[in-house]
Amino acid sequence: MSVTEILFTPLLKADPGRPLITHYDDAAGTRIELSRATVKNWAAKTANWLRDEHDVEPGDPVAVLLPAHWQTVGLLLGAWWCGARVVGAGTDAKVAVVPPGGTADADVVAVASLHPLGLGSGAPVDYADDVRLHGDDFMPWQPVAGSTPALGESTVDEVVAASRELSAGLGAEPRVLSTLEWDSPSAVLEGFLAVLAAGGSLVQVSNPDAGQLAARRDAEKVTQQLG
């Protein structure tokens, strides 16, 4: 099974309405919250888009060159769901998703607007606009083997094991506030996948205003903080 099926699907089945990510951008003054069910829809659309439109198969490299953001959550889970290997900058990829103004070495480069409401960027290949055309359910054509590369040089089995090991320090079903960026495999593991493995939810803060963090911890009922 894929990373998504192992770490995310059990959370979806247990309580689809529970928040998965609450994203703040302190520079823009925005707050967006997505439930597990809403994230599932984005992830399924992404997986269908990658497989059906861009022929991504298990092990194919997909470059996710975005900051820690709610759109990035759907992209990561969708990429893993169809078996892709998520890579960073400097690796040739079949598909790359970049922020506005970003560039990448890839067969296809899509732009994610990072707009708080998910609006498109107007780019020729636009992530948000394109994935909306695809279905809210994803059915893999074949199981993803545990030995399939999933994140950098790590396989599905290795990513899952590392996520579960890191989750031990978070407690059960934590509400985690994080200012960590997901700019390396280790950061994705610590700042995102470990939270899923613990059965928790994430309060992700971009461009953090340090003066607001204490009040936000109280308002969001945070149990752990990263970064």
Query: 204: burial class by Cβ within 10 Å (0-12, 13-18, 19+)?
Result: buried
Q: How far apart are CA 195 and CA 175, in angstroms?
A: 8
User: Residue 206: its pLDDT value, please?
Assistant: 95
What letter would DSSP give residue 145? P
- 211-220 contacts, C-beta under 8 A, 24 or more apart: 212/26, 213/177, 213/179, 216/24, 216/177, 217/177, 220/22, 220/175, 220/177
pTM for this model (two decimals)? 0.97
**Type and span of the H or E element at 226:** strand 224-226
| Cα(131)–Cα(116) distance, integer angstroms | 16
Q: Which of 118, 123, 120 is nearest to 102 (CA)?
A: 123
Give the domain CATH number at 102. Answer: 3.40.50.12780
Instruction: Quote the number of domains for the chain.
Output: 1
Residue 22, strand partner residues: 33, 203
Structural domain for 119, as ranges:
3-226
Q: Please report the pLDDT score of residue 122 as a whole number.
A: 87
Per-residue pLDDT reduced to its tens digit, 45-99: 999 999 999 999 999 999 999 999 999 999 999 999 999 999 999 999 999 999 9
Q: What is the pLDDT of residues 91-143, one digit of tens each?
A: 999 999 999 999 999 999 999 999 888 778 889 999 999 999 999 999 999 99
CA atoms within 13 A on the CB side of 16: 6
